[in-house]
């Protein structure tokens, strides 16, 4: 991803610029680590890094004031990207998240190498999270429309552009959790599966494996529906037990697996009972043989 060096740069600046006396370093893809104070744009990058802290504080007015100061204090470094960010922030402050989100998206696509990218991405994330949690989108200045799908799109854009950064992980986790909240369990499963693929180890991979199984299990609607999701959930839970036995015991995973086994058995009973009522003895016999020998016939 083209934006990943920017994330490294801003992350290191924020981590090391804790005191006035501390040296702050910037990762230059061509020349390696350099002291920010030795760079012409050093103080500009430091000022940008502080914007993320102001975003986290949730004070939009302070962010806008800081952006205006950047334009005034660094006229040689501030360009069209800063102007575009300021324009988007002014819309954001009015509460029109839909219009502001479009401007942030244009920014991310137009200036992929701007040092402001990580800050804009954080703001774009906040809009996506708001939409997923029920914030409405203003349409034609009057109508307020459900924007959950817009939030889904925003989180996917962030996950794509931010590589394997913490923000990318946070975007996918936020998306999956809100898909579960909306009972979109199959969608949540696919999101957790993407997390599992991109972060297969550590707590991220462990939690994604568990949530994949839970999402599939929750998506099962009863014996009248396809039981493929039950089989999938069973497989993920068994894998979880094998890889994390102590945690699986704490979560009473054995009871969950027992429940799934009972649900699968009841599903088979209902299928057999259906054929019996239909008088289709031949089909019932085939079902019985397949249960004995699998799908090898």
The Cα 174–Cα 145 span in angstroms is: 21
Instruction: Supply the DSSP symbol for 113.
Output: T
DSSP letters spanning 15-28: HHTTSTTS--EEEE
Q: What is the pLDDT of residue 220?
A: 94
**What is the number of alpha carbons within 13 Å of residue 226 lying toward its C-beta?**
4
- pLDDT at position 21 is 40
pLDDT at 145: 78
Output the furthest CA–CA distance in the chain (Å, rounded): 86
Q: Which residues contact 133 (CB under 8 A, 6 or more apart)?
A: 151, 178
* Pairing between β-strand 25-28 and β-strand 32-35 as defined by DSSP bridges: antiparallel
Task: Please write the tens of the pLDDT for every residue from 66-93.
Answer: 888 888 888 888 889 999 999 999 999 8
Question: What are the two backbone dihedrals, phi and then psi, of residue 296, each rounded to the nearest 5 degrees?
Answer: -80, -15
Show contacts of 252-260: CB within 8 Å, 24+ apart.
Answer: 256/217, 260/217, 260/230, 260/233, 260/234
Burial of 168 (0-12, 13-18, 19+ CB in 10 A): buried
Residue 55 pLDDT: 75
Q: Tokens 């020349």 label which residue?
A: 31
Residue 16: the pLDDT is: 41
Question: Residue 238's pLDDT is what?
Answer: 97
DSSP β-bridge partners for residue 139: 143
pTM metric for this prediction: 0.77
pLDDT for residue 251: 97
For residue 94, give both structure tokens: 């009015």
What is the model's pLDDT at position 32? 59
Distance CA 152, CA 186 (A): 14
CA torsion sign, 111 to 112 to 118 to 120?
positive
Q: How far apart are CA 148 and CA 133, in angstroms?
A: 8
Q: If we measure between CA atoms, which residue out of 52, 54, 45 comes closest to residue 73? A: 45
Residues in the chain predicted with pLDDT less than 50, given as ranges, are 1-22, 296-297
Here the tokens at position 69 are 């100061």
């Amino acid at each position: 991803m083209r934006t990943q060096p920017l994330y490294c740069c801003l992350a290191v600046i924020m981590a090391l610029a804790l005191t006035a006396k501390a040296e702050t370093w910037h990762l230059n893809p061509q020349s390696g680590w350099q002291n920010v104070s030795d760079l012409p744009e050093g103080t500009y990058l430091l000022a940008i890094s502080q914007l993320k802290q102001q975003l986290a504080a949730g004070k939009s007015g302070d962010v806008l004031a800081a952006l205006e100061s950047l334009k005034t204090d660094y006229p040689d470094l501030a360009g069209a990207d800063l102007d575009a960010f300021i324009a988007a922030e002014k819309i954001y402050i009015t509460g029109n998240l839909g219009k502001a989100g479009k401007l942030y998206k244009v920014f991310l696509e137009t200036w992929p190498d701007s040092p402001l990218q990580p800050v804009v991405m954080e703001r774009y994330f906040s809009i996506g999270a708001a939409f997923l949690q029920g914030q409405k989108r203003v349409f034609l200045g009057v109508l307020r429309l459900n924007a959950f799908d817009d939030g889904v799109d925003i989180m996917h854009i962030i996950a794509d552009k931010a590589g394997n950064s913490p923000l990318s992980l946070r975007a996918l986790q936020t998306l999956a959790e809100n898909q579960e909240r909306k009972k979109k369990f199959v969608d949540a499963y696919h999101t957790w599966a993407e997390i599992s693929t991109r972060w297969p180890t550590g707590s991220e991979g462990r939690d994604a494996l568990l949530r994949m199984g839970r999402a599939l299990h929750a998506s099962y609607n009863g014996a009248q529906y396809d039981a493929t999701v039950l089989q999938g959930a069973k497989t993920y839970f068994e894998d979880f037990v094998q890889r994390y036995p102590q945690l699986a015991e704490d979560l009473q995973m054995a009871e969950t697996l027992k429940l799934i086994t009972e649900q699968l058995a009841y599903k088979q009973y209902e299928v057999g009972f259906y054929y019996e009522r239909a008088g289709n003895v031949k089909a019932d016999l085939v079902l019985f043989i397949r249960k004995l020998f699998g799908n090898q016939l």
